[in-house]
Chain A
């Protein structure tokens, strides 16, 4: 069965520091990977997905199939980046169901 691991429950950085939220997955096939974010008092929303290969709010994520990782990175953290971040995968089988990690809380201090 597929699994998503986010090893850090909490990541605390100062404003302007680089950020890397780690995500590893286990799946024998070729999944699609996503990062979802939940800001305080807001609903869970899609941040980015690997097939788009885009940068959203300064965040990027590269799928490394060799290391089965999909780490989320931002060179300079902002206070408004403070939120809960979930890595998720969808099996490339035609169905959009998601398997989520446990999430990492990012706190950016001034």
Chain B
């Protein structure tokens, strides 16, 4: 089992563009969460998807949106990119939404905005 996989590994965009990041959860997991990790900071929660619906959302603007597919994979979309969106975007999966279920993280997508 490869665990959580994310694509692409790196991405360079310019201000105002739109980007889509992808995540496949660990086998057997049905819940996907997305985090943004700026340089020198801990991961910050963006949102969580379960049963193809956004269930929880952190303090991020509507420019950040997502989707979960029937196979539990997920996408993170960011519109109107800003310089401040440059960060490592982490996907984490778990079995169910329970707070006692450990989250498994992917390697992340490094997004650079020029």
Contact = CB atoms under 8 A, between A and B. Distances in A.
Contact of B97 (A4, A32, A44, A96): A96
A96 B105 contact: no
What is the size category of the interface that chain A forms with chain B?
20 to 34
What is the size category of the interface that chain B forms with chain A?
20 to 34
Interface of B: 3-4, 31, 33, 35, 40-45, 48, 55-56, 58, 90, 92, 94, 96-108
B4 to A, nearest CB: 8
A98 B97 contact: no
Interface of A: 4, 32, 34, 43-46, 49, 51, 86, 88, 90-103
A110 B60 CA distance: 43
Contact of A95 (B35, B55, B102, B106): B55
A99 B33 CA distance: 12
Given A43-B107, A44-B90, A44-B105, A100 B43 contact: yes
A46 B102 CA distance: 7
